[in-house]
Amino acid sequence: DAGITQSPRHKVTETGTPVTLRCHQTENHRYMYWYRQDPGHGLRLIHYSYGVKDTDKGEVSDGYSVSRSKTEDFLLTLESATSSQTSVYFCASADSDRPYEQYFGPGTRLTVT
Amino acid sequence: SQKIEQNSEALNIQEGKTATLTCNYTNYSPAYLQWYRQDPGRGPVFLLLIRENEKEKRKERLKVTFDTTLKQSLFHITASQPADSATYLCALSTGNQFYFGTGTSLTVIP
């Protein structure tokens, strides 16, 4: 998995609470991504980062924010969790020389009740 | 945005045969097309990338073709093995955006 870990691996939270998911990579990859995966949908890009403090929105960014203060860490925050954000979240990273070859973490299963 | 269609039905094949998976897309042709493998409960694993100006790419028992006229990519696994059983995802990318298909479930029967 290219040395990518995600924490927590499972989380149950209540509607309206803030949630932060963490992604940590040890490959010194410059690019990092957050996706969500839902039945009937492919992986959908939430936010991405091309370096420290360089982030941008993906296809489904509403309700999410990200931060990247160190190369190895990329945080995804759900500002006020809703039931529609129940999903499996995947983090990925890629080397700047091969930005289209992404290496994924094991995923975080988030349930919002 | 892109719409990507992969074989919606699961694909079952006999061990030793060639599995062929299809990825069709609408709208503009992507600069890059990738194939990933995903096992239950795990993250996708990168397999192959093909560029828009390439027709075919091979890696061991895997072959990918890319036809920008048909807006289609085919993914072949030759001499299939039960260990090849997984879901295979097609992904398209242009610039900073990535679009994934829902995947095709492949089962290789011993």
pLDDT digits (tens, 9 = 90+) for A11-35: 999 999 999 999 999 999 999 999 9
**B44–chain A nearest CA distance, Å:** 6
pLDDT digit string, tens, across residues B53-62 = 898 999 999 9
Q: Is the pLDDT of residue B102 over 90?
A: yes
Q: Does A92 touch chain B (CB under 8 A)?
A: yes
The token duo for B80 is: 């299939």
Mutate to test the interface with A, among B5, B98, B100 (most CBs of A within 10 A): B98
Average pLDDT, chain B: 92
- Provide the number of CB pairs (under 8 Å) joining chain A to chain B: 55
Q: Is the pLDDT of residue A61 over 90?
A: yes
The token duo for A75 is: 């945080």
Rounded to an integer, the average pLDDT of A40-61 is 94
Q: Do B34 and A1 touch (CB under 8 A)?
A: no
Q: Is the pLDDT of residue A51 over 90?
A: yes
pLDDT for the residue numbered B27 = 77
Q: Are strands B4-6 and B11-14 parallel, antiparallel or unpaired?
A: unpaired
Q: Is the pLDDT of residue A58 over 70?
A: yes
